[in-house]
Amino acid sequence: MNNRKLKLLVMPNCKELGEKVDKELKRLNKQEESFQLDYTPERFSNGEGKVRINENINNIDLYILSDVGNYDITYSYHGRIHHMSPDEHFEDIKRSIAATSGHCAKINVIMPLLYQSRQDKRKGNESLDCAIALQELENIGVKNIMTFDAHNSSVCNAIPRLPFENFYPTHRILEELIDNEEIKDLLVIAPDMGAMERARYYAEMLGVDVGVFYKRRDLSKVVNGKNPIVEHMYMGASPEGKDVIIVDDMISSGASILEVAEFLRKKGVDKIFLIVTFSLFTEGIDRFKEAYANGLFDKIYSTNLTYVPQEVKETEWFQEVDCSKYLALIINTYYKREDTSSLWNGKKKIINKIVKKKESEEKQLQLEI
């Protein structure tokens, strides 16, 4: 039995998610008292910051929850409004750890969107930021790192002695999709080769076929740091007449995933759902508004594990999937040192949901006849 107290340090960049997780933790543990740690993050007008812990933290299991992708957190910097970057959010995580002064029994860091996750491998003389960041956390006393749908989970090789838990919200997203949509003759699509493993995972959960696109790039040019895509080449079963879900880890500018959607629409697919863990919308949402108006996709399903602007949540083409209960269950299971096997795969739950929905539809059809 774990006799240490559980405390949740919720960074300002994920306050809404943190409050939902706290509420669920209270329900799971049948207690009225909040699990959130009383602390004060401060920022000086020259950009420097500090963190102060306001309560006893001796012998506690501390879980630090931070959304390093939140670009809506601001402070006054030399009299100007400054939006915090992932680098600043990561520094605040380290400040919070430093403020504990070694009093915590165990420090766990939860970054649903892994810091610098797209800079996970090195080609030539370039930085390897994600690996360095993980090593930094290990060196200052972190005992466990948790994330969701890491861009490349093999980055954990940078910290071979430290637990690196990479969870997938697949079953939560599929639950929401099944509950809200009428889907028949489904096909799962990977928009590129890098997303193939993820797409196969979805396909196996649903028991359907999978297809993939190969991005042929012009390697002689570099535009915005990338070789531009010349052509999307499709490999797999014919998508004609099917409902398809295009699966990826994140939406950045959206150019690639919308090009794939346009290709599939021209091939005569029925419904198109875009499923991603993180919706970053790094170049705004005008492109998606236009694409939806032109019928390129039916809806985006994405989680609340990173910041999504309110204007996006209010659109008819975006469905937010709440993962707070799943995250609270993860924290509670690890805190109580219980068996974690049930956290990793919700396949049985999804299969049961699909079976029940089909039975309900068949029963309704018989009543109509």
Domain of residue 163, residue span: 5-167+324-338
Do 254 and 308 fall into the same domain?
A: yes
| Domain assignment of residue 353, yes or no | no
Do 152 and 18 fall into the same domain?
A: yes
Do 110 and 197 fall into the same domain?
A: no
Do 120 and 174 fall into the same domain?
A: no
Do 225 and 151 fall into the same domain?
A: no
From 328, 283, 285, select the one nearest 305 (Cα to Cα). 328
Distances (CA, A) of 246 to 41, 117, 172, 273, 294: 40, 21, 16, 6, 18
Do 13 and 107 fall into the same domain?
A: yes
Strands 60-65 and 5-10: parallel
Domain CATH for 268:
3.40.50.2020
* H helix or E strand, kind and range, residue 325: helix 324-335
| Domain assignment of residue 354, yes or no | no
Do 24 and 123 fall into the same domain?
A: yes
Domain count along the chain: 2
Instruction: Give me the count of residues in the chain.
Output: 369
> Along the 369 residues of the chain, how does pLDDT read in single tens digits?
567 899 999 999 999 999 999 999 999 999 999 999 999 999 999 999 999 999 999 999 999 999 999 999 999 999 999 999 999 999 999 999 999 999 999 999 999 999 999 887 777 888 899 999 999 999 999 999 999 999 888 999 999 999 999 999 988 999 999 889 988 889 999 998 888 888 998 898 888 999 998 877 777 777 776 677 777 788 888 999 999 999 999 999 888 899 999 999 999 999 999 999 999 999 999 999 999 999 999 999 999 999 999 999 999 999 999 999 999 999 999 999 998 887 876 666 666 766 676 666 666 666 666
Residue type for position 275: I
Do 266 and 331 fall into the same domain?
A: no
Do 157 and 209 fall into the same domain?
A: no
Do 16 and 122 fall into the same domain?
A: yes
| Domain assignment of residue 188, yes or no | yes
Compute φ and ψ for 251, nearest 5 degrees. -105, 120
Do 266 and 118 fall into the same domain?
A: no
Query: Is the CB of residue 296 less than 8 Å from the CB of residue 272?
Result: yes
From 236, 172, 234, 181, select the one nearest 208 (Cα to Cα). 236
Compute φ and ψ for 203, nearest 5 degrees. -60, -40
* pLDDT of amino acid 98: 96
Query: Is the CB of residue 151 less than 8 Å from the CB of residue 216?
Result: no
| Domain assignment of residue 343, yes or no | no
| Domain assignment of residue 344, yes or no | no
Q: How many CB atoms lie within 10 A of CB 229?
A: 16
91, with CB counted inside 10 A (0-12, 13-18, 19+), is: middle
- 206 Cβ contact partners less than 8 Å away, ≥ 6 residues apart: 174, 186, 188, 350, 354
Q: Give the 3-state secondary structure percentages of the chain, helix then strand then coil, rounded to 5.
A: 35, 25, 40
| Domain assignment of residue 124, yes or no | yes
Q: Half-sphere exposure of 69 toward its Cβ, with a 13 Å CA cutoff?
A: 26
Do 76 and 96 fall into the same domain?
A: yes
| Domain assignment of residue 275, yes or no | yes
Compute the distance between CA of residue 227 and CA of residue 153 in angstroms, rounded to an integer. 24
- Model's pTM, two decimal places? 0.89
b/e per residue 324-357 (b: at least 16 CB within 10 A):
bbbbbbbbbbbbeeeeeeebeebbeebeebbeee
142: which DSSP letter?
-
Compute the distance between CA of residue 94 and CA of residue 75 in angstroms, rounded to an integer. 19
| Domain assignment of residue 346, yes or no | no
